Amino acid sequence: MTTFAVVQAIIIGALVLGSAIFAFRRLLPGTSTRWMASASASLNKPWRKPWVQAMGRWLQPASATGNCGDGCGTCGSCGPKPPANARPDVQPLEFRPRNKG
């Protein structure tokens, strides 16, 4: 293999890995947060080297700030609220006329 092919394979591999990590974090945010917290806790030990501890602090997920923009979903205030008299087992029907165009 030539040097160009090796460099090309490394760049393509890095792009595929980055895309997979992005998709994993976007599609499974709870699981990725738990995994990042676990990795951060194992790396951020006092007996580890300073650069390993720095990587552990970098991996530590941001905690919920409590405002509606962080997307934590713990308080239930994000998104539209159902009416006070709505029953959770009943869904309203919406009838829309067909477009004849």
Average pLDDT over residues 80-101: 73
Least confident segment among 4-8, 28-32, 68-72: 68-72
DSSP letters for 27-49: H-HHHHHHHHHHHHHHH--TTS-
Per-domain boundaries in the chain: 3-59
Residues 62-89: tens digit of each pLDDT: 764 445 555 555 555 555 565 666 666 7
Output the pTM of the full model. Answer: 0.50
- Coil/strand/helix, residue 19: helix
Q: How far apart are CA 4 and CA 12, in angstroms?
A: 12
More confident residue, 64 or 94: 94
